[in-house]
Amino acid sequence: MQQFQNYVLGNWENGTGVETTIYHAITGKEIGSVSSDGIDFSEVLNYGRNIGGPTLRKMTFQERGRMLKALALFLMDRKERYYEVSAWTGATKIDSWIDIEGGIGNLFANASLRKQFPDLPFYVDGTAAPLSKNGSFIGHHIMVPKEGVAIHINAFNFPVWGMLEKIATNLMAGVPAVVKPSEYTSFLTEVVVRDIISSRILPEGALQLLVGLGRGLIDHAESCDVVTFTGSAETGRLLKAHETIISKSIPFNLEADSLNATVLGKHASPGTKEFDLFIKETVKEITIKAGQKCTAVRRIIVPEEFIEAVQKGISERLSSTIIGDPSAEGVRMGALATKTQVGRVRASVEKLMASQDIVYGDLDRFDVVGADKNSGAFFSPILFLNVDPFNKTACHEIEAFGPVSTLMPYKNLDDAIAIANMGKGSLVSSIVTPNNKEAVDYVLGAASMHGRILVLNADCAKESTGHGSPMPLLTHGGPGRAGGGEEMGGKRGVLHYLQRTAIQGHPTTISAITQQFQVGSEMPEANPHVFRKHFEELVIGETVFTHKHTVTDADIVNFANVSGDNFYAHMDATALEGTIFEKRVAHGYFILSKAAGLFVDPKKGPVLLNYGIEEARFTKPVYPGATIAVRFTVKEKIDQEKRSEDDIPKGIVKFLVDVYDETGETVAMATILTMVKKRS
């Protein structure tokens, strides 16, 4: 019998004995076993902290992003093997696609986030805060990687996605991971981790895997670590209240089960495109992954006048959903992951039956195609009807983690919102309506109790990613019962693994720390001009002090002619009464354009192009007669990878353009973005 292995302390290791025997979800045949018994969890966590952490922390966000991209490409090339193994979990091709390619997609999405981070191992958060009258003392925030490990305890339903969506963020942040997937499906995680380790794309110690129960792992967590948990609310609560978590103030991100609701709007009556969309989307959310999705629709809330039509529509569609071996022709829904799950879902359904009626499906009588019903972990889709959702509340409390959902009526939208909110906090909810007023009212009424809300109508349906799919760039996580956690979330997800520290001091010191120029810092004069220097030679803070220009009426008229901007404040001195202007004022765009004329060194050199302007402000009116000049300072540098062999080696340089007048006061400020060639 194959023993799936743990990857710890740089080696593949068997645990002692057998903690769990693994069975094929379709055939019921024994596949192997897992165990993490006997492994010293304290050493595992220390290995991550001492071996993986230091290397990751030295890398910049750009390097970590490129590492994730390389890993994503590497895994994508090997995905066929993951599909083969995923089939053992009872998954259809689409179910596996969500898990495997959805997971790899998370690596790509996080890799792309590098563009939102500096070319540094740490992040500079926000802008400087002025803390003194004369500007010699300022405050800022940096966020450095935590010096611990990310401990991920994951649910059984997404053995690949569950790991990849989590490690993508901690690796991007520069923190190593120890992953403990559920023992029921960790064999698939193991196959992927084998490839990750053999690729040598991640530094050693950046990723360790425990395939068994891992009980006691949290006992060894330290305050520098972060624990994430994805699973049932019950286990989540238990672990969140763990003595170690509380006594050491260890961040604990809880992603628990939730009783997600979908609402049919009153305007989506039978016969509308939205009504059909609602039926289709709801059935998809009941049957995909055989309902083993934390975001699956558990409650279906519909106007009372449409309840029969909805029940009929869903039942008809469910009856054409063939259950069985996903490799058999026509099969649309596979098995649950294990027979243990069958027992658990059945027990939950039986509890729900005490207060509501099954209107579609049967616990025992259903057909299975291409497999032996009794050997595999099969389960029929079950649709309940609860006509009194305010008083019969089991459907708002019990999560049957399978293809099980409850239909319930509402009278008006306020009732629909109240029923949805009776889930006491959910990951996701959706409303299907062609009417934006109804959508607005629902979203504002339900938002405080939901981590994500999908508004579906015919205009977005074709490109909609659906009720059940969390997106890597959005924060996925819900309040209350759903755990109050946050995961993924684009840049926000990465920040979760960084420690924010406020730093206070002189602007020159803060510039040195943040490696970004802060106003008030020393500005050594650039010699030669910064446009004559290659990327590597530019130093943060070095400044070109330009010659001066006195603004004239002719400048204003000429600029109005060139641009066609004849706004009265520039052109009509008689129209200024009641405005803040004392005289015809120069165009702000003229000031910036003239600034370019002053700061540009025109000869061909390392500066390849200027590709944009950020944070442009016109801070003081400039009238004819004023004399302006520019302080042009290297503000920030971001290294760039070559996109192809023949790409020019270059980096991005941000320059601060500070235009000031004869009083020394700033009249306009902007950051320009340039691409500058590297010497090598």
Of the listed pieces 50-58, 177-185, 259-267, 363-371, which binds ligand NAP according to CB under 6 A? 177-185
Q: Does 480 help bind ligand NAP (rule: CB under 6 A)?
A: no
Question: What DSSP state is assigned to residue 620?
Answer: S
Q: Does 257 help bind ligand NAP (rule: CB under 6 A)?
A: yes
Q: Does 294 help bind ligand NAP (rule: CB under 6 A)?
A: yes
Rounded to whole angstroms, the Cα distance separating 195 from 178 reads 16
646's CB contacts (< 8 A; 6+ apart) are none
Residue selected from 85, 100, 155, 446 as contacting ligand NAP according to rule CB under 6 A: 155
Tell me, yes or no, if 395 is annotated catalytic: no
Rounded to whole angstroms, the Cα distance separating 335 from 373 reads 10
Residues of this chain, 403-432, that bind ligand NAP according to CB under 6 A: 427
Nearer to ligand NAP (CB atom), residue 154 or residue 405: 154
Q: Does 256 help bind ligand NAP (rule: CB under 6 A)?
A: yes
Residue selected from 225, 255, 325, 542 as contacting ligand NAP according to rule CB under 6 A: 255
Nearer to ligand NAP (CB atom), residue 183 or residue 555: 183
Rounded to whole angstroms, the Cα distance separating 234 from 481 reads 10
Choosing from 183, 190, 255, 438, the catalytic residue is 255
For every residue of 142-201, DSSP letters joined together read EEEE-SS-EEEE--TT-TTHHHHHHHHHHHHHT--EEEE--TTTHHHHHHHHHHHHHHT-
Rounded to whole angstroms, the Cα distance separating 530 from 29 reads 70
133's CB contacts (< 8 A; 6+ apart) are none
User: In the 3-class helix/strand/coil scheme, how is 585-606 assigned residue by residue?
Assistant: CCCHHHHHHHHHHHHCCCCCCC
Tell me, yes or no, if 255 is annotated catalytic: yes
Closest contact distance (angstroms) between CB of 341 and ligand NAP is: 7
- Which residue type does 525 have? E
Q: Does 282 help bind ligand NAP (rule: CB under 6 A)?
A: no
Rounded to whole angstroms, the Cα distance separating 652 from 231 reads 43
Nearer to ligand NAP (CB atom), residue 239 or residue 443: 239
524 φ, ψ (degrees, to nearest 5): -60, 140
Q: Pairing between strand 357-360 and 382-385?
A: antiparallel
Choosing from 294, 395, 438, 486, the catalytic residue is 294
Size of the site for ligand NAP (CB under 6 A): 25
Q: Does 379 help bind ligand NAP (rule: CB under 6 A)?
A: no
Closest contact distance (angstroms) between CB of 156 and ligand NAP is: 4
Q: Does 156 help bind ligand NAP (rule: CB under 6 A)?
A: yes
Rounded to whole angstroms, the Cα distance separating 185 from 212 reads 10
Of the listed pieces 212-220, 313-321, 510-518, 591-599, which binds ligand NAP according to CB under 6 A? 212-220
CB 379 within 8 A of CB 405: no
Rounded to whole angstroms, the Cα distance separating 262 from 296 reads 10
Of the listed pieces 104-112, 150-158, 297-305, 354-362, which binds ligand NAP according to CB under 6 A? 150-158
Q: Does 182 help bind ligand NAP (rule: CB under 6 A)?
A: yes
Please confirm whether the linkage preceding 528 is cis (ω < 30° from 0).
yes
Of the listed pieces 178-186, 345-353, 387-395, 518-526, which binds ligand NAP according to CB under 6 A? 178-186
Closest contact distance (angstroms) between CB of 283 and ligand NAP is: 19
Q: Does 535 help bind ligand NAP (rule: CB under 6 A)?
A: no
Residue selected from 35, 208, 230, 405 as contacting ligand NAP according to rule CB under 6 A: 230
Interface residues with ligand NAP (CB under 6 A) are: 153-157, 180-184, 213-215, 230-232, 235, 239, 255-257, 294, 399, 401, 427
List active site positions: 255, 294
